[in-house]
Structure 1
Amino acid sequence: MTDFPLPYSVDVALSTRSHERIGDRRTDDEWLAEQWADTATRVLVLAGGRFPLAPGGTTVRWLSPRETDDLVPGAERVLLGERDGLVHFLALPRGFRAPDDWGTLRSHGPELSAPDQGFVVQGVALDEWRRSHRHCGRCGHLLDPSGGGYVLTCPSCGRQHFPRTDPAVIMLVTDDDDRALLGRQPSWPQGRYSTLAGFVDPGESLEDAVRREVMEEAGIEVGDVAYFGNQPWPFPSSLMVGFFGRALTTDIHVDDDELEAARWFTRDDVRRGGESGELVTPGGFSISRSLVEAWYGGVVPGSW
Structure 2
Amino acid sequence: MGEFVFDQPPLLSRGTFDRADEIRDDPARMASGWPTALVLPIGPDGRYPVTDARGLAWMPAAEFGDAPPQDAVFLAHTDTDLWALRVDSLDGRTADPRRGAVRLSADEAGLLATALGILNWHAAARFSPVDGGATRPARGGWVRRHVETGADEFPRTDPAIITVVHDGADQILLGRQAVWPDRWYSTLAGFVEPGESLEQCVIREVHEEVGLAVTEPRYLGSQPWPFPRSLMLGFSALADPAEPLRFLDGEIGDAVWFHRDEVREALARGDEWMRGDPVPDDDSGPRLLLPGSISIARSLITAWAGHEV
TM-score normalised over the length of structure 2:
0.86
Structure-2 residue corresponding to 1:302: none
Structure-1 residue corresponding to 2:222: 230
| Aligned equivalent of 1:23, options 21, 42, 49 | 21
Structure-1 residue corresponding to 2:73: 78
Measured in 2, the distance between the counterparts of 1:211 and 1:100 equals: 47
TM-score normalised over the length of structure 1:
0.88
**Code of the aligned partner of 1:45:** P
Q: Deviations 1:160-191 (Å, cap 9, x if unpaired)?
A: 10001111000011125431010001322321
Deviates more, 1:24-33 or 1:211-220: 24-33
Write the mapping of 1:140-151 to structure 2, written as runs, cut at 5 A. Answer: 140-151=132-143
Instruction: Give 1:53 shift.
Output: 1.5
Structure-1 residue corresponding to 2:290: 281
Write the mapping of 1:36-75 to structure 2, written as runs, cut at 5 A. Answer: 36-38=34-36, 41-48=37-44, 49-56=46-53, 58-69=54-65, 74=69
Describe the shift of the 1:174–1:155 C-alpha distance in structure 2 as closer, same or farther (beyond 3 A). Answer: same
Answer yes or no: is 1:264 the counterpart of 2:257: yes
| Aligned equivalent of 1:89, options 83, 105, 108 | 83
Instruction: Give 1:98 shift.
Output: 3.0
State whether residues 45 and 68 of structure 1, in contact with CA within 8 Å, keep that contact through their aligned partners in structure 2.
no
| Aligned equivalent of 1:290, options 290, 299, 306 | 299
Structure-2 residue corresponding to 1:3: 2
Instruction: Give 1:18 shift.
Output: 3.0
**Code of the aligned partner of 1:22:** A
Instruction: Give 1:155 shift.
Output: 2.0
Structure-1 residue corresponding to 2:245: 252
Instruction: Give 1:78 shift.
Output: 1.7
Instruction: Give 1:247 shift.
Output: 1.2
Structure 1, unmatched stretches of 5+, are 299-304
Describe the shift of the 1:47–1:269 C-alpha distance in structure 2 as closer, same or farther (beyond 3 A). Answer: closer
Describe the shift of the 1:157–1:29 C-alpha distance in structure 2 as closer, same or farther (beyond 3 A). Answer: closer
Structure-2 residue corresponding to 1:301: none
Answer yes or no: is 1:182 the counterpart of 2:174: yes
Answer yes or no: is 1:35 the counterpart of 2:30: no
State whether residues 10 and 294 of structure 1, in contact with CA within 8 Å, keep that contact through their aligned partners in structure 2.
no
State whether residues 144 and 154 of structure 2, in contact with CA within 8 Å, keep that contact through their aligned partners in structure 1.
yes
The share of aligned pairs that are identical, in percent, is: 36
Structure-1 residue corresponding to 2:276: none
State whether residues 99 and 294 of structure 2, in contact with CA within 8 Å, keep that contact through their aligned partners in structure 1.
no
Q: Deviations 1:198-237 (Å, cap 9, x if unpaired)?
A: 0001010101100100000000101111111100101111
**Code of the aligned partner of 1:92:** R
Measured in 2, the distance between the counterparts of 1:255 and 1:207 equals: 20
Q: Deviations 1:258-281 (Å, cap 9, x if unpaired)?
A: 111011111123245665532101
Q: What is the root-mean-square deviation in Å for CA atoms of aligned residues?
A: 2.2
Structure 2, unmatched stretches of 5+, are 270-284
Instruction: Give 1:110 shift.
Output: 1.4
Secondary structure, counterpart of 2:252 in structure 1: coil
Structure-2 residue corresponding to 1:200: 192
Describe the shift of the 1:88–1:176 C-alpha distance in structure 2 as closer, same or farther (beyond 3 A). Answer: closer
Measured in 1, the distance between the counterparts of 2:169 and 2:74 equals: 50
Secondary structure, counterpart of 2:189 in structure 1: strand
State whether residues 75 and 91 of structure 1, in contact with CA within 8 Å, keep that contact through their aligned partners in structure 2.
no
State whether residues 80 and 88 of structure 1, in contact with CA within 8 Å, keep that contact through their aligned partners in structure 2.
yes
